[in-house]
Amino acid sequence: MPDIRVTVDGVRYDDQVEARRLLVHHLRRLGKVGTPVGCDTSNCGACTVLMDGASVKSCTVLAVQADGSRISTVEGMAADGEWHPLQSAFHRRHALQCGYCTPGMLMAASDLLQDNPDPTEEEVREGLEGNLCRCTGYANIVAAVLDAAAEMRGAHTRTPVGGGTA
């Protein structure tokens, strides 16, 4: 079995994996269960993570393809006990109901904002076009991403994890 070395949310993991193992299954076996499998058909984006800084659908990457790479998941978003501005904005704007799509939405949104810190509503919708939500109707998700973008361009304030709404 191939040996792989992957850094997930800043921690290095050396493992032997079956070549057929999907990255999303590998992450979940490492205990990083914040990344769910949604459709298993490469369509929904629930499994989105960043691989060397770029969004990928982790159900559509083999773990061996991630050898040597840096993976960021939703579990690494909050820092020092404080939510990322995207997480706070999703909370504040009610950008989730069941929450199944949320990890992928957050990762896709963070990829979009590092590329384009000041997107229009249309650009947010395009940036999230690979992520499906069956609950919200998207309006609050788009509003939350625009909110977070404004906040990140400005003060960069963070809300304590579990902390209140604005």
Ligand X SMILES: Cc1cc2nc3c(=O)[nH]c(=O)nc-3n(C[C@H](O)[C@H](O)[C@H](O)COP(=O)(O)OP(=O)(O)OC[C@H]3O[C@@H](n4cnc5c(N)ncnc54)[C@H](O)[C@@H]3O)c2cc1C
Q: Which positions touch ligand X (CB under 6 A)?
A: 42-43, 60
Binders of ligand FES among residues 57 to 116 (CB under 6 A) are 57, 59, 96-101
C-beta of residue 74 within 8 angstroms of C-beta of residue 129: no
Assess 2 for contact with other proteins (CB under 8 A).
Answer: yes
Selected from 10, 14, 16, 41, the binder of other proteins by CB under 8 A is 41
Compute the distance between CA of residue 4 and CA of residue 59 in angstroms, rounded to an integer.
17
- Whole-angstrom distance, CA of residue 46 vs CA of residue 38: 5
CB of 48 to ligand X, least distance (A): 12
- Within 49-68, the residues that bind other proteins by CB under 8 A are 51, 54-57, 59-62, 64-65
The whole-angstrom separation of Cα 162 and Cα 107 is 19
Contact 133, 105 (CB under 8 A): yes
Site string (128-147) toward ligand FES, x via CB under 6 A:
-----xxxx-----------
What track of x and - describes contact with other proteins for positions 122 through 141 (by CB under 8 A)? x--x-x-xxx----------
- Residue 159 near which of ligand X, other proteins, ligand FES, none (CB within 5-8 Å, type-dependent): none
CB under 8 Å to 53, separation ≥6 — which residues?
70, 72, 111, 114
Q: How far apart are CA 118 and CA 152, in angstroms?
A: 9
Write down how long the chain is. 166
Q: Is 26 in the site for other proteins (CB under 8 A)?
A: no
Q: How far is the CB of 48 from other proteins (least distance, A)?
A: 6
